[in-house]
Amino acid sequence: MKISELYEKKKRSLSFEIFPPKKDSELKNIDATLEVLCELKPDFISVTFGAGGSSNYNRTIELARKIKYEYHVEPVVHLTCLSYDRAEIDSFIEVLNSEGIQNVLALRGDRNPKLPEKDDFRHASDLISYLKQNGDFCIAGACYAECHPESENRVSEMKYLKRKVDAGAQLLLSQLFFDNEKFFHFVDDCRIAGIDVPVIPGIMPVINAAQIRRMVTMCGASFPERFQKIIHKYEDNREALFDAGMSYALSQIIDLLVNDIDGIHLYTMNNPVVAGKICEGIRNII
C-alpha cells in the first residue's frame, strides 16, 4: 500500500522510525523490537539508510522486507543520493520493485568526507524527480521545522521545499523539534508557499542527554527553556530523565494532536519501551 492513501482518506497517521543494526548478528535480534513496535499497529515504519552500501547488500532493504512480509506493516525506505550515480540508483529502484516496496523517503544525505560526492543528484529534489520518472512509488520528503542547517533563511528553505513537492513528494516528514510553536509557524509558511501536502511532525523523546545534544547539534533544533530545565535537572539521573523526557514528548504530541496535525512520526531509536509508553498515553486521542 502507498502511504499517501492514508491522507487521501483523511486518516491521521502514527508511524515509527528505526535504524538497521550495524552488525549482521544484531540484525537477527531486532525481531524483539519489531514485535513490540508492530503490535502497536503503526501505519508505517521508516527505515534509515546507511550510505555507501550497494543495493545487493543493504541492511535497510533487508529490514524493510522483514517489516513488510513478516510483520505486515508498510515500510518506508530511506534512500540518499549524494554519493550515488544514476546507475546505482537504478539498481536500488530495481531491488525496491522486486521486493514490492512502494514507499520511499528521498533524501540528499549528509555530506561525509569518507564518501565521494557524485554529480548526478545534488539535491533531494533531483532524486525525487528521478524516482517519479522511473518508478511507481509514494515519495516522501524531509523537512525542518526550524530550517535545514545549510539554508540561508526561511524564504530559501520554502523555495527548496516547494521544489521537492513540485518534483513529486507526496508528504513531508519533519526532523525532530522540541518547540511546537515553531512547527505550527512552519506549517503556516508551507501553506503560504503553496505546499499543500501533509506535513508530519517528527518527535524524539529525551531519554539520553548526550545523545539528544548530539542530535540537536546535527539538525539545528532549538532548546525551549522548559526543555533545558529537564536536561539540566535530570541529566545525571537516568531514570528521572527517562520519565521527565517521556512526559515532555507526550505533552508535545497531545498538543500537536489537539491542533489537528496530519499524524505523528516517532523517532524510536530502536527502543520499543519508548514507543509503547507513548502509544499508551495517546491511545484514545489519535
- Per-residue pLDDT tens digits for 86-117: 999 999 999 999 999 999 999 998 887 778 88
Catalytic residue numbers, as ranges = 17
Return d(Cα 5, Cα 131) in angstroms, integer.
18
Q: What pLDDT is recorded for position 242?
A: 92
Q: What pLDDT is recorded for position 51?
A: 54
Return d(Cα 176, Cα 214) in angstroms, integer.
12
**213 against 204, higher pLDDT:** 204
Q: What pLDDT is recorded for position 202?
A: 97
- Per-residue pLDDT tens digits for 141-196: 999 998 777 777 888 899 999 999 999 999 999 999 999 999 999 999 999 999 99
Q: What pLDDT is recorded for position 58?
A: 79
CA quadruple 235, 208, 143, 110: dihedral sign: positive
Residue 243 neighbours by CB distance under 10 Å: 14
Q: Are 135 and 96 in contact (CB under 8 A)?
A: yes
- Per-residue pLDDT tens digits for 5-55: 999 888 899 999 999 887 766 666 788 899 999 999 999 999 998 655 555
Q: Are 207 and 213 in contact (CB under 8 A)?
A: no
- Per-residue pLDDT tens digits for 209-220: 777 777 777 777
Q: Are 149 and 131 in contact (CB under 8 A)?
A: no
Residue whose grid cell is 499497529: 41
Return d(Cα 34, Cα 191) in angstroms, integer.
35
Q: What pLDDT is recorded for position 284?
A: 76
CA quadruple 59, 139, 124, 128: dihedral sign: positive
- Of 74, 7, 5, which is closest to residue 46 (Cα–Cα)? 74
Q: What's the rounded mean pLDDT across residues 268-286? A: 87
Q: What's the rounded mean pLDDT across residues 127-143? A: 96
Tell me the average pLDDT of the chain. Answer: 90
